[in-house]
């Protein structure tokens, strides 16, 4: 077993890997600096850990007993052994959930909500790739900015509205004194759907580009992508959530937060620190957090099942497409079971390892031109599951193409449950997939957090579920009693017209479904909280009202389901 059970399995494997293995594996090197010397780790703690800060150690204390510590690798085991450190995880990479929404969401121009309420007095926080704040859509009629605060993590700098106004009105063009550009346009498009006012450069308004809450104030966080990655990390996301939620409390404004990023690493059961942290932050202030369910529903990256008592073995096959430079698998098993597992390469070479006798060990093998780095984990303080993590590292350039096989042979069978996840579809080819994939429970993390509003996507033309949208589950504790539904609601996510600095684009993905719900929450908070109708319409209460008034989709089935939850967003009758 690992020496310190307070470190997650992936962190244990990263610590045990050689420097060459880490540098060849983006998932193991995530969160390390350019020299692979200093590592970021996420900690859950109690007491005072500020005393740990020093010349070589940086301590960032977040809310609710969470923190981020940057320190040399050689100190991590000692850190995990400290009594006040409850658990330690390494950062993971996040991926944008890319892939005639207002009307489909029942925001009619002639409705009371659409006419009278526009989001004024409510703040929408967009945590994403930044914002092209110079665009007229994000400016007031007098040319000033609608953005109250802009945190650019890549610069480690906060810009106030006054500083942004100086840039807009006084022509401050010094690159060092302005936020870095939104190079992808993703964050700008998301913000436009949630809160764009449709203004054009000539002063007119394009009604087709007016967002859900066009008078809402904005708070923007541009996520840092870290030293060794082109993608933001979970540590960047945690810093961002901490910033916007606490800033919302400070400025005493109701806050709707939009997250359109996620990843596939984890048991998808709410036990990861990022999930637990966001649950805590969803209870701070007058806050609503909306998260896209991800675009893994049809990506073929999930396999699962139940091995029956009569089965001698269960074979899980997956194809490795051409030109895969990085690949890994997570296998989540019930710890009451034990297995001998055979991994077989496309050439027929294989080896066997055990979830019992090899528990806590790092296994190194080579099959054909692929090096395997495997860690057989044990249950940990926040999880009853056993994880087996397999990292496929190409010996030369690419992982071996063809059909790989995992053969699970039970040596002790009680539950028989197993679940496997591949990396996000954004970093693997379309030909790399399980031969018998399971689309259920393909939500990306942190949309799996219980207290967020998880948003799926549907096609508003056909009123039908978009097959790319991450699917979740409906938990029934007993006949007729529904406990948890994920996603809770769906919004238009196919063919969405949005504007960014690159012009008008037709977009799809839960990235662009989520801001419809975020904007709708802002409108409802304006009416209820600021209008005196209900000062407590936020958090779980907002979720409940949106679910109650969701519309049944013409192309959908019985509600609730694991695709669109309680139905499509419909704010007209809330």
Q: Kindly state whether residue 524 falls inside one of the protein's structural domains.
A: yes
- pLDDT tens for 311-356 read 999 999 999 999 999 999 999 999 999 999 999 999 999 999 999 9
pLDDT, average across residues 250-272: 95
- pLDDT tens for 283-302 read 999 999 999 999 999 999 99
Q: How many C-beta atoms surround the C-beta of residue 271 within 10 A? A: 16
Same domain, 83 and 135: no
Using 50, 70 and 90 to split pLDDT, how confident is the model at 561?
A: very high
Residue 79 has pLDDT above 90, yes or no: yes
Residue 248 has pLDDT above 60, yes or no: yes
The strand order across the sheet containing 433-434 reads 350-354, 338-344, 402-412, 314-320, 433-434
According to DSSP, the β-strands at 489-492 and 481-486 are unpaired
- CATH of residue 52's domain is 3.30.70
Same domain, 215 and 253: yes
Last residue of a domain, one of 60, 91, 122: 91
Residue 574 has pLDDT above 90, yes or no: no
Give the pLDDT score at 316: 98
- pLDDT tens for 512-553 read 999 999 999 999 999 999 999 999 999 999 999 999 999 999
- CATH of residue 377's domain is 2.60.120.1290
According to DSSP, the β-strands at 402-412 and 464-465 are unpaired
Q: Kindly state whether residue 572 falls inside one of the protein's structural domains.
A: no
My answer on whether omega of the bond before 349 falls inside 30° of 0, hence cis, is no
Question: What is the pTM for the complete model shown?
Answer: 0.94
Cα–Cα distance list, 154 to 3, 178, 342, 364, 399 (Å): 36, 12, 44, 37, 33
Same domain, 264 and 379: no
Same domain, 289 and 335: no
- Residue in 125, 114, 64, 66 with CA at minimum distance from that of residue 287: 125
pLDDT, average across residues 438-458: 97
Integer-rounded Cα radius of gyration of the chain: 24
Give the pLDDT score at 2: 43
Residue 110 has pLDDT above 70, yes or no: no
Give the Cα separation of 420 and 34 in Å (integer): 31
* CB-neighbour burial class of residue 18 (10 A; exposed 0-12, middle 13-18, buried 19+): exposed
Cα–Cα distance list, 15 to 18, 121, 297, 361 (Å): 8, 48, 33, 12
Give the Cα separation of 141 and 137 in Å (integer): 10
Q: Kindly state whether residue 142 falls inside one of the protein's structural domains.
A: yes
- pLDDT tens for 354-366 read 999 999 999 999 9
Q: Kindly state whether residue 28 falls inside one of the protein's structural domains.
A: yes
Same domain, 419 and 315: yes
Same domain, 391 and 407: yes
Last residue of a domain, one of 434, 461, 479: 434
- pLDDT tens for 210-221 read 999 999 999 999
Same domain, 141 and 22: no
Worst-scoring range by mean pLDDT, 216-230, 270-284, 431-445, 551-565? Answer: 216-230
Same domain, 194 and 138: yes
Give the pLDDT score at 111: 47
Q: What is the mean pLDDT of the chain?
A: 92
pLDDT, average across residues 177-200: 95
Same domain, 254 and 147: yes
According to DSSP, the β-strands at 453-459 and 287-292 are parallel
pLDDT, average across residues 14-30: 92
Same domain, 87 and 100: no
Residue 478 has pLDDT above 60, yes or no: yes
- CATH of residue 267's domain is 3.40.50.200
Give the pLDDT score at 1: 38
Worst-scoring range by mean pLDDT, 81-90, 435-444, 537-546, 551-560? Answer: 551-560
Give the Cα separation of 168 and 152 in Å (integer): 17
Last residue of a domain, one of 49, 72, 91: 91
Residue 193 has pLDDT above 70, yes or no: yes
Give the pLDDT score at 290: 98
Q: Which domain holds residue 211?
A: 96-296+444-548
Q: Kindly state whether residue 58 falls inside one of the protein's structural domains.
A: yes
pLDDT, average across residues 552-560: 87
Q: Kindly state whether residue 3 falls inside one of the protein's structural domains.
A: no
Using 50, 70 and 90 to split pLDDT, how confident is the model at 275?
A: very high
Q: Kindly state whether residue 543 falls inside one of the protein's structural domains.
A: yes
Name the domain count of the chain: 3
Q: DSSP code of 470?
A: P
pLDDT, average across residues 181-203: 93
Q: Kindly state whether residue 566 falls inside one of the protein's structural domains.
A: no
Give the 3-state secondary structure of 188-247: HHHHHHHHCEEECCCCCEEEEEECCCCCCEEEEEECCCCCCCCCCEHHHHHHHHHHHHHH
Same domain, 310 and 396: yes
Same domain, 485 and 393: no
């Amino acid at each position: 077993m690992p020496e310190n059970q307070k470190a997650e399995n992936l962190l244990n494997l990263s610590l045990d890997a050689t420097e060459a293995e880490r540098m060849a594996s983006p998932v193991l090197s995530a969160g390390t600096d350019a020299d692979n010397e200093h590592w970021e780790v996420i900690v859950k703690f109690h007491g005072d850990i500020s005393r740990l800060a020093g010349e070589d150690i940086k301590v960032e204390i977040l809310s609710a007993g969470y923190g981020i510590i940057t320190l040399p690798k050689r100190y991590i085991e000692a850190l995990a052994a400290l009594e006040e450190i409850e658990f330690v995880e390494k950062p993971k990479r996040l991926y944008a959930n890319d892939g005639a929404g207002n009307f489909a969401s029942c925001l009619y121009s002639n409705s009371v909500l659409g006419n009278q309420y526009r989001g004024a007095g409510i703040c929408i926080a967009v945590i994403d790739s930044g914002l092209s704040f110079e665009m007229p859509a994000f400016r007031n009629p007098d040319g000033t900015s609608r953005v109250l605060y802009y945190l650019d993590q890549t610069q480690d700098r906060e810009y106030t509205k006054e500083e942004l106004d100086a840039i807009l009105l006084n022509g401050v063009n010094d690159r060092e004194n302005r936020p870095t550009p939104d190079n992808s346009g993703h964050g700008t498009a998301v913000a436009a759907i949630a809160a764009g006012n449709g203004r054009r450069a000539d002063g007119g308004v394009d009604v087709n580009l007016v967002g859900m809450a066009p008078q809402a104030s904005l708070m923007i966080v541009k996520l840092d992508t870290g030293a060794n990655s082109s993608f933001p990390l979970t540590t960047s996301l945690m810093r961002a959530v901490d910033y916007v939620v606490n800033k919302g409390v400070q400025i005493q404004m109701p806050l709707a937060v939009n997250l359109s990023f996620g990843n596939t690493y984890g048991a998808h059961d709410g036990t990861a620190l990022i999930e637990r942290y966001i649950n805590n932050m969803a209870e701070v202030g007058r806050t609503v957090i909306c998260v896209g369910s991800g675009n893994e529903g049809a990506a073929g990256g999930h396999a699962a099942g139940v091995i029956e008592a009569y089965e001698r073995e269960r074979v899980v096959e997956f194809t490795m497409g051409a030109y895969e430079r990085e690949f890994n698998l997570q296998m989540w098993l019930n710890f009451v079971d034990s297995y001998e597992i055979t991994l077989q390469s496309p050439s027929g070479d294989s080896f066997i390892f055990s979830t019992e006798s090899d528990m806590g060990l790092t296994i190194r093998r080579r099959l054909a031109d692929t090096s395997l780095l495997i860690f057989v984990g044990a249950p940990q303080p926040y999880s009853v599951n056993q994880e087996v993590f397999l990292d496929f590292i190409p010996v030369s350039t690419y992982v071996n193409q063809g059909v790989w096989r995992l053969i699970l042979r039970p040596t002790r069978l009680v539950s028989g449950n197993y679940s496997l996840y591949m990396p996000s579809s954004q970093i693997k080819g379309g030909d790399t997939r399980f031969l018998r994939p399971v689309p259920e429970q393909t939500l990306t993390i942190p949309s799996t957090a219980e207290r967020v509003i998880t948003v799926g996507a549907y096609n508003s033309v056909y009123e039908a579920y978009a097959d790319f949208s991450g699917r979740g589950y409906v938990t029934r504790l007993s006949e007729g009693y529904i406990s948890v539904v994920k996603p809770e609601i769906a919004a238009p996510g196919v063919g969405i017209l949005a504007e960014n600095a690159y012009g008008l684009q037709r977009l799809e993905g839960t990235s662009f479904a989520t801001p419809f719900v975020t904007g709708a929450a802002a409108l409802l908070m304006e009416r209820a909280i600021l209008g005196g109708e209900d000062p407590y319409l936020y958090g779980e209460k907002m979720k409940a009202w949106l679910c109650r008034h969701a519309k049944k989709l013409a192309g959908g089935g019985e509600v609730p389901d694991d695709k669109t939850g309680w139905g499509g967003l419909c704010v007209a009758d809330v």
